[in-house]
Amino acid sequence: MAATRAMTIASNSTSCLLAKNPVLLKHRPFIQSLSLKNLKVASSSSKRSYTCRAIYNPEVLVKEEGQPETLDYRVFFVDKYGKKVSPWHDIPLQLGDGVFNFIVEIPKESSAKMEVATDEAHTPIKQDTKKGKLRYYPYNIHWNYGLLPQTWEDPSFANSEVEGAFGDNDPVDVVEIGESRRKIGEILRVKPLAALAMIDEGELDWKIVAISLDDPKASLVNDVNDVEIFFPGTLTAIRDWFRDYKIPDGKPANKFGLGNKAANKDYALKVITETKESWNKLVKRSIPSGDLSLV
């Protein structure tokens, strides 16, 4: 008999937070203002879940199906009725006062390349594959990595500020620099600090540098210059990590626009606003969705 496994999820008032959003309400009936109060873990060899108890009903359940590091592994988000909801489409982006929701796909100091499955119904988190094999980074990523919900990098839009590169057809990526190692599927409140314009095989793949509001240094960092003061060398380390991580596989290094430097907070907010507008067009079907799931 397979051994029962358990997950330990850090409990704090800034995790698993959702909020009301007019655009979302048009797209989905499911939305309430939620925050993490208690976490209950249900575990078995094939399915595990933990609950984010809401200030207002309904509850949100983050449910694992299958075994980690297998082709069948998925992390779904479901409401209290057991209905699956999309972490990309159904979780609101903005919480007000410059605070945004961030969904963890890859915990810091891990190497499994986890991502939201944008082409699957309800866009669960899964491990990426190549030629039928699970993908891993050649070395651990040193920050929590994930996405901003309700954003989309439009592959039909050429960004004149970044060498005319087209969007990579994914939600916007976030590199969260706080000290805590998070869990796959956690939802954190973050504030953006900077933006890196990575160009991956000709596609623009924004990296928003952010920090969770519950990090001990969160109150000290509010813009790109603060990152250099309180997290010295971190912006360079992030840029170099994403520049070089494909080299061990025989691919060329990635490039960066905007002078190869991190842009400031205002620019990061501009990127978020623009990609939010692109997502709005996508879910309204003003732009062809191709293989993307809008469910």
Identify the three-state secondary structure at position 92.
coil
Question: What is the rounded distance in angstroms from the CA atom of residue 243 to the CA atom of residue 256?
Answer: 8
Whether 106 contacts 139, CB under 8 Å: no
User: Among 73, 81, 137, 245, which one carries the catalytic annotation?
Assistant: 137
C-alpha distance from residue 228 to each of 128, 173, 194, 214 (Å): 32, 21, 11, 20
Hey, which residues does 211 pair with through a beta bridge?
191
Three-state SS for 281?
helix
On whether the CB atoms of residues 40 and 83 are closer than 8 A, the answer is no
Q: Is 137 marked active-site?
A: yes
Q: How far is residue 210's CA from residue 190's CA, in Å, rounded to a whole number?
A: 6
Among 222, 189, 206, 176, residue whose Cα is nearest residue 271: 206
Q: What pairs with residue 48 in β-bridges? A: 64
Burial class of residue 283 in the structure, from the number of CB atoms within 10 Å of its CB (0-12 exposed, 13-18 middle, 19+ buried): buried
Q: Are 93 and 100 in contact (CB under 8 A)?
A: yes
The token pair that represents 99 in the structure block = 């605070």
Catalytic sites, residue numbers: 137
